[in-house]
């Protein structure tokens, strides 16, 4: 399969289980869930050969040649070992690393602000650290700002807490915008998506 015909693999990063569902660390899952709803599809458990994940297969974009085949994934392995399930899906679907998108929370960006980029460091994010260790750094990232912890709160406690009631007032809007950004990245390419969404 040529790179031109290869699917995109969009991995929303988070932790499985209802106790984590509204955590800041799970914003990647929130974006993946909305993307699946837009595709009119439901997540299903990956088969044995595909690894430990929930997946949706489908297309995004306008009907016709501009639409893109995508594999949407939520790794079910816990954030710190996301690299294993994402690599298994990459190998199963023969996805070039440059067509992989990680959607994740980002401490060093203000709440709700987006940054799209290709490659780079992991910035202390354990999900990215695991992915980079497994496949190298040359995948796309859609970074969803969650801001820094207040006062002396530890980073680990902050990311595993639910969004605050104030943050939740705007959360749906920001998740919607992040989902738009993922679609733009896949359909229009990185530069155009960056010019629209890197605020």
Query: Where do the DSSP E strands lie in the chain?
Result: 8-12, 44-45, 53-60, 68-75, 100-106, 114-118, 140-145
Candidates 25, 104, 125, 140; catalytic one? 25
**Residue 65, CA distances (Å) to 53, 157, 168, 189 in order:** 29, 45, 38, 15
d(CA 199, CA 95): 29
Q: Are 122 and 105 contacting, i.e. CB atoms less than 8 angstroms apart?
A: no
- For residues 53-73, b (16+ Cβ closer than 10 Å) or e, as one string? bbbbebebbeeeeeeebbbbb
Please give the biggest Cα pair distance in the chain. Answer: 52
3-state secondary structure of 168: helix
125 is a catalytic site residue? no
Catalytic residues, by residue number, are 25
């Amino acid at each position: 399969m040529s790179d031109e015909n290869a699917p995109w693999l969009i991995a929303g990063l988070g932790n499985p289980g209802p106790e984590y569902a509204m955590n800041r660390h799970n914003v990647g899952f929130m974006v993946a869930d909305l993307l699946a709803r837009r595709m009119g599809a439901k997540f299903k458990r990956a088969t044995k050969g595909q690894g430990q994940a929930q997946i949706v297969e489908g297309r995004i974009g306008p009907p016709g040649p501009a639409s893109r085949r995508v594999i949407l994934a939520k790794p079910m392995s816990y954030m710190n070992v996301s690299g294993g399930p994402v690599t298994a899906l990459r190998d199963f679907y023969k996805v070039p690393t440059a067509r992989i998108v990680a959607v994740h929370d980002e401490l060093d960006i203000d709440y709700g602000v987006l940054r799209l980029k290709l490659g780079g460091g992991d910035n202390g994010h354990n999900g990215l650290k695991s992915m980079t260790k497994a496949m190298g750094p040359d995948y796309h990232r859609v970074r969803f700002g969650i801001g820094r912890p207040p006062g002396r709160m530890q980073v680990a406690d902050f990311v595993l807490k639910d969004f605050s009631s104030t943050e939740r007032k705007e959360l749906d809007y920001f998740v919607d915008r992040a989902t738009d950004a993922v679609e733009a990245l896949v359909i229009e390419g990185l530069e155009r998506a960056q010019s629209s969404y890197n605020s």
